[in-house]
Copies of this chain bind each other. A is one copy, B any other.
Amino acid sequence: MNITYMAELLATVSERASRLVGLGPKPRSTAERGDIAALAADLVSHRGEASGVAIAREIIARYDALGTEEKVRFLSGLVERFGPDEERVARAVEAWRTDPSPAAVSELHIAAEPRRQELLRRLNLAPGGTLALVHMREDVLDLMGDEPNLKVLDIDLVHLFSSWFNRGFLVVRRIDWSTPANILEKLIEYEAVHEIDGWDDLRRRIEPADRRCYAFFHPQLADEPLIFVEIALTTGIPSAIGPLLAADRKPLAPKEATTAVFYSISNCQQGLAGISFGSFLIKQVVDELKRDLPQLTTFVTLSPAPGFAAWLDCERNAETSPLSPSDRQTLDLLDRPGWHLDKAIIDRIEPVMRHAAARYYLEARTAKGRPVDPVARFHLGNGARLEQIDFIGDTSPRGLAQAYGLMVNYLYDLERIEENHEAYADKGATAASSAVRALLKRDTSSRELA
């Protein structure tokens, strides 16, 4: 395979966007075309077959200029006026009720496909169409709260994006200091876990030899990372984020590293919410790292516990709780400003916090029987294992506010991912190390005596 030939293919994709602007058939004046809703109707008509690119471009340009109310009107119109052919649905339903054969089901599926789907596919004909549709979904997500009928449109977009952003079409790329600046600035913008404080901070995260960063890209959105993960190479499982990000730390020679720590993973496109990439990215990056640095033995995260403080406050105030009354009393120390800097408090509070964290991760459950913590749901759902509780891992204001400083490590052991995932998916079971499990038993003897 001639890689450069392929590479030029993609270059062409992007060029097209700029070049085509102003080209192509413009057989009808804008006035003649009517408003954006009429254009949408055109696009799924015979006209759209002949002049799809031009009409799609026009719709996208106009949509971009709409105010919120007009957007609601346009989007609602898509829901109301671009459903399926009602008669065909009715016929398909009758046929299926008579004989629910595979062919009848297939016809039912097809008949019930709203014309919106074809409309959305044709909007993609425009240069920059894919990104425009991702942004349109951002709007839908924003507006859906007030306009519940848009939920149907959201389903259509998710359906489409599931096909288009199939992991088979995504490309993983290493991000480093030789990456174009316009990509790098998006890392600064999108970093969701540990904020990047300008170019010097960014550089510290991607240039040193013991740092890695990878992102998924889609060929159609080449300047837009979809998701990225930041990694530190270390010699053991770290228990706090501060030392990893310290400006004055001394880099490790990559050959000496034994552990890759995924300390931040951030989605970039709100409009792709719910289209899952993270699991694939982590697994592929584990593969890449193993290839480059075969001596690596351990792949872990250093993760926040975003729901811990809220849960713990609940427990502290609840009538009944799995936490003992004395433990709950100890936790009042958390209300003292600067508690995390006070050695005496830390010593008293640590075993209680570790025990509480174990209960939070292993026992606290949502109505659907899943862990309360959203980050836990993500990593456990990927087949990772809860490996370690990091008491006082993140003393940033956010870290203290959302989790009283607590962090955790999830371990990605590729040999056990499938097994863990199945147990989790089938039974909601939380894979956890024996050390974490042991924390469930609160041996209070010694301390109670004190």
Interface residues of chain A, those whose CB is within 8 Å of chain B, are: 1-20, 23-25, 27-28, 46-47, 49-53, 79-80, 83-84, 86, 89, 93, 96-97, 100, 102-103, 105-106, 108-110, 112-114, 121, 124-126, 129-130, 149, 151-152, 155-156, 159-160, 162-164, 166-169, 171-173, 177-184, 198-199, 203, 217, 219-220, 222-223, 279, 283, 287, 290-291, 382-383, 414-422, 425-426
Contacts and interface: CB of A to CB of B under 8 A. Distances in A.
Nearest to A183: B5
A83 B106 CA distance: 8
Contacts of A113: 109
B283 A25 contact: yes
Given A105-B89, A180-B180, A14 B1 contact: yes
Contacts of A426: 46
Given A6-B11, A124-B166, 10 more contacts: A1-B178, A2-B182, A12-B171, A27-B414, A50-B422, A93-B93, A93-B97, A163-B164, A169-B220, A181-B203
Copies of this protein in the assembly total 4
Q: Which of A160, A181, A184, A419 has the most CB of B within 10 A?
A: A181
Contacts of A168: 124-126, 129-130, 220
Nearest to A218: B9
A219 B10 contact: yes
B418 A27 contact: yes
Contact of A184 (B152, B181, B291): B181
Given A51-B417, A124-B168, A156-B106, A8 B12 contact: no
A13 B219 contact: yes
A4 B13 CA distance: 12
Contacts of A283: 24-25, 53
Nearest to A128: B168
B291 A6 contact: no
A245 to B, nearest CB: 19
B173 A287 contact: no
Contacts of A46: 421-422, 425-426
A282 to B, nearest CB: 12
A244 to B, nearest CB: 21
Contacts of A203: 181
23 contacts: A1-B17, A1-B182, A1-B222, A2-B183, A4-B4, A5-B5, A5-B222, A6-B10, A6-B219, A9-B10, A12-B173, A27-B417, A46-B426, A50-B417, A89-B100, A105-B112, A106-B114, A124-B167, A125-B167, A125-B168, A164-B164, A181-B181, A181-B184
A7 B178 CA distance: 13
A181 B173 contact: no
A217 B1 CA distance: 14
B180 A178 contact: yes
A2 B223 CA distance: 8
Contacts of A23: 287, 290-291
A18 B14 CA distance: 23
Contacts of A10: 6-7, 9-10, 171, 219
A100 B90 CA distance: 10
Contacts of A106: 112, 114, 152, 155-156
A51 B418 contact: yes
Contacts of A47: 418, 421-422
A162 to B, nearest CB: 7
Contacts of A172: 12, 16
Contact of A8 (B16, B18, B159, B173): B173
Nearest to A203: B181
